[in-house]
Structure 1
Amino acid sequence: MSKYEDQLIDIIKNDSYIMSILEAVEKLNLNDAWVSAGLIRNKVWDVLHNSNTPINDIDVIYFDSTDTSWETEKKLEQKLESLLPNQPWSVKNQARMHLKNGLAPYTSSYDGVAHFTEIPTAIAVRLRKNELEVMAPYGLEDLFNKIVQPTPYFQKDSKLHVIYIKRMQEKEWHKTWGDLSIEL
């Protein structure tokens, strides 16, 4: 386990709100389920900047190639809502998320996270049997060093790189966390 993974686990364990989210997701007993992206990234950046930004959404990912319906995702959001009400739940089956950017089908949640747009967002955490697990296909160095750059998929493909550039312009993270180094 890297020092950054230890730091991330400490940050999550010391946040009762995020722990309650992870506990709710674990109760769904979904295949390959994780809490990912912005909630985790923003929490780390908030800790590093001694700030507290609002929660936009709670990205819950899982992988089930036998049922890729949007309706199932909405039912899962309703179940999460019953477990932990009034939260901005967003459940996405990674078995269908490849369609968003016209890519080949993903093979797992790990593959889905590896295809996220930027490296510090390509992270996920889950709770299994009271143990926190971290998924970070590109490591946690960029996240903790406040570096934003595209994942390899969004670096190599010019069409995808345009998506990354547009996302960086829309997110305006530099206004919230002033010392981020954002590669364009």
Structure 2
Amino acid sequence: MKLTNENDITKLINEDEWMMEVLQAAKKLNLTDWWICAGFVRSKIWDTMHNYKVRTPLLDIDVIYFDESNTNEKLEKTFESNLKDIMPKIPWSVKNQARMHIINNLPAYSSAVDGIANFPETVTALGVKLDDVDNVILTAPHGIEDLIHLVIKPTSRFLASSDLAEIYKARILKKNWQSTWPKLKSYYY
């Protein structure tokens, strides 16, 4: 299947019953500024572009949100537990982006999308959620060109810093995405 724009991606996700169930489960938490991001979106696109009939298993489903009023990590674990009650077989991971800048030693984020924009790779810096009437919304702060052209490269923040560039390189080697999706092209800088 050829994917050329954001509408193609949201349509693809909207037609995936399992992905819609996952999105609906996350929506039930009523989190502030929430998204499901990273591999949840990226893997679907890459599986589709590789013509895979079976979904590549995900290590986790990353649900993020932004709430400066409560940055206690225990609350994130409560949300994960709530999601496990809804869909117990899903490896949920919930993170408040209002505290993640500290872990990543970066300036404070202003929103969940700002957090997504600071992910290491452009192809990971993606998120989807449902609007009030369950339409899929996509955010891609660095665009979708790298994603749909199967190119892995660092986001601007990880490109601008030699320390972060090393983190990016180590991640790419560890993830070894090309062993699962052989059409990928990787740029290490």
Query: Normalised by the size of structure 1, how large is the TM-score?
Result: 0.96
Task: Identify the residue that residue 91 of structure 2 maps to in structure 1.
Answer: 88
Checking the alignment, whether the CA contact within 8 Å between 2:35 and 2:128 is kept in structure 1 is: yes
Q: Percent identity?
A: 43
Identify unmatched segments of 5+ residues in structure 1.
Answer: none
Q: Which amino acid aligns with 1:157?
A: S
Q: Which amino acid aligns with 2:13?
A: I
Checking the alignment, whether the CA contact within 8 Å between 2:4 and 2:148 is kept in structure 1 is: no
| Pairwise CA RMSD | 1.1
Question: Which of 108, 119, 130 is matched with 1:116 structurally?
Answer: 119
Residues 118 and 165 of structure 1: CA distance in aligned 2, closer, same or farther (over 3 Å): same
> Which region of structure 1 is more displaced relative to structure 2, 153-162 or 3-12?
3-12
Give the superposition deviation at 1:14: 1.4
1:132 correspondence with 2:132: no
Deviations 1:77-122 (A, max 9, x none): 0111112222100000000111222111111001100000000100
Task: Identify the residue that residue 65 of structure 2 maps to in structure 1.
Answer: 62
Identify unmatched segments of 5+ residues in structure 2.
Answer: none
1:141 correspondence with 2:180: no
Q: Distance in 1 between matches of 2:152 and 2:80?
A: 29
Deviations 1:63-86 (A, max 9, x none): 001111110000000111112222
Query: Normalised by the size of structure 2, how large is the TM-score?
Result: 0.94
Task: Identify the residue that residue 22 of structure 1 maps to in structure 2.
Answer: 23
Q: Distance in 2 between matches of 1:21 and 1:174?
A: 26
Q: Distance in 2 between matches of 1:148 and 1:100?
A: 24
Q: How many residue pairs are counted as aligned between the two chains?
A: 183
What SS does structure 2 have at the residue aligned with 1:96? helix
Q: Distance in 1 between matches of 2:37 and 2:58?
A: 13
In the TM superposition, structure 1's runs of 4+ consecutive aligned residues that sit over 2 Å from their partners are none
> Which region of structure 1 is more displaced relative to structure 2, 3-12 or 137-146?
3-12
